[in-house]
Structure formats: C-alpha cells, structure tokens
Amino acid sequence: MTEAITQGALVIPQLIVGLGNPEPKYEQTRHNIGFTAIDALSRAWQIPLVENPKFKGQFGEGTAPGGGKICLVKPLTYMNRSGKSVQAVISWYKLPPELVLVIYDDMDLPLGKTRLRLSGSAGGHNGMKSIVSHLSSHNFSRLRIGIGKPKGAANEDNTDTISHVLGRFSATETKLMTLVLEFVVECLELTLKQGVENAMNRCNSWSAY
C-alpha cells in the first residue's frame, strides 16, 4: 500500500484516524468528535467499519475519493493509548508516519473552526501524545476540530475542562457541528485529491458561522 505515496511533492494520506473513547457513555461527547468524523467519512465513502482485534480498533478499507486506497480507524484502546492502534495499522501496511492523518478535538479552537496541518506538537492532547510516542514522530498530518473552551471557566480549572470535553454538545451546538462534519468530509476529499498542503488554505479559512 506504499505505492502512490505522493503525487509529485504532495502528501496524500492513506490512513485516517479519528480519536475518541469507546463505551456508550462517551458517545457524541466533545472529546469523541474524532470518532464522529470517522463515522461521517465511513458513510460518505461507503467504507464499513468493523472491529479488528489486530488493529485494536474499528477499521475499514476502501477507495478514496481521489481513486486510491484509504484506511479508516477508530482506536478502541481509550484515548491515552491511541498510539497502539495507529502503530499496529502502519506496521501491517508498512506505511511511514507521513501518510497518517489524525482527526481530534481542540479546545484552543472555537466551535465551528477546523485546522489542517502537515505536522506539529501534541498540544497537550493525550491521544496525540500517545501517537507521537508510538510513532516516534511528529511528522504526520492532523485535522483539529474546534470544541471551544468551557464558558466562564479559568484555563487552569481542570474540573471544568474535564466536564467540558467529556460533555455533550447542546442542541444549538449539535446543529453547528452537523455543518462542521459535512465540511470535514469535503476538506478530506480535497486533501485526498490534491494533497494536504493544497487543502490547507480551504480547510483553515472556513467557518461554520
């Protein structure tokens, strides 16, 4: 699966990972927006997800909008061990980290905003810390989905932070996130057709507001 890694100098991801926690109590929470995004991609691209013990997650493989092969995975290891699942997939397919794209929540981004990058730090996100550790690299693409900060809470208030990220979106926020997820599909289709760098301007200038 390592052929057609790039088109020219373009980075075309071959594995898209969405971060979240298993168990029904975490479904549709802000911290699980990565899982929700993978579900949206699975539906849009008609790539069924099935539990795969070898990959420690729900996994699907199919044809990407750009015509190449694409893998989708939702690690079922719990957030802070996400790297185990990602490492298992890339080891099996012999993929370099550069062909991985990770979708996850970001409190530092306002609700309704997305950010696509070729690389970067983990930024305090436990799932990303695990992936960086297991891949021994920061050089993989990431799409951050803004969930905003808890209203009126000090940045140092860990209790409010935990309640916020593990809480569910309000009815108004859910409508907004529906638009965000539709755009995430569009953004990633553009990424797979034109490469991460060419998609960044579109994905980073968009807002659901």
Catalytic residue among 31, 125, 134, 164: 31
Other beta carbons within 10 Å of 172:
9
The Cα–Cα gap between 126 and 94 comes to 25
Say which DSSP state 80 is in.
Answer: G
Return the ∠ at Cα 33 (arms to 32 and 35), rounded to 5°. Answer: 70
- Across the strands, what pairs with 143? 103, 116
Residue type, 30: R
Return the ∠ at Cα 144 (arms to 34 and 16), rounded to 5°. Answer: 50
Residue type, 90: I
The Cα–Cα gap between 134 and 184 comes to 26
* Residues in Cβ contact with 36 at an 8 Å cutoff, skipping those fewer than 6 apart: 18, 20, 28, 177, 181
31 is catalytic: yes
Contact 67, 75 (CB under 8 A): no
Return the ∠ at Cα 181 (arms to 8 and 185), rounded to 5°. Answer: 30
Q: Which sequence positions are flagged as catalytic? A: 31
